[in-house]
Amino acid sequence: MRVQSLCLLFLGSKMALMFEFLSLFLFSILSAIFIGLYTYFTRNFNFWQKLCIPYVKPTPFVGNLKECVLQKVNIGKHLQKIYEQHSDKPYVGIFSFDKPSLLIRDVELVKNILVKDSQNFTDHMMTVNEELEPLIAKGLLLLKGRLWRQVRTSLTPVFTSGKVKMMFYLVDICGKELADYLGKAAAEGKQF
């Protein structure tokens, strides 16, 4: 009886030792994975600092999109908040997860990027599945590379200042009709 209890005690201590070893091994593996992911997702967080550009301090794993990821606010409102907080600067660096992005406030810089230097800004971050949304996927804001250049080259002559002035009255008429429709619908209690 005494030998059996010693054997059970010996086996119990071996099992406890084995459990401790497995626990330590699992903890080490999980720690290594976490450290690897942390390092990967924070590798670019000094990008704006190296360039001496003012930036919003990012949060590991989500960058500056924590509020959006937690679905507390939509991306538009979040970017507007950052935009308003940095009203004294012409631009501010932000991070979309681990990717650096630049939020530009200065109207002249925006004009240069969208008009004069547009050939240097051909690729956009957003993408749409062309099979699900064929019309949206072919929009100028979602195209990339060579196809973007082709579409922009064909659209540029349509938006000359003379042609836009000629179309203004149509936009004005449509705007008034929309305002009238929305006014009538609101008076009738329709909800959109």
Distance CA 178, CA 176 (A): 5
pLDDT lower than 50: segments of the chain? none
State residue 112's pLDDT score.
87
Which tokens is 123 given? 């690729």
State residue 173's pLDDT score.
94
Distance CA 94, CA 53 (A): 10
State residue 8's pLDDT score.
53
Residue keyed to tokens 């705007």: 175
CB atoms within 10 A of CB 152: 14
State residue 9's pLDDT score.
55
Total-model pTM: 0.59
State residue 192's pLDDT score.
66
State residue 95's pLDDT score.
93
State residue 158's pLDDT score.
83
State residue 15's pLDDT score.
67
DSSP 61: T
CB 98 within 8 A of CB 65: no
Cα 95 from chain centroid (whole Å): 8
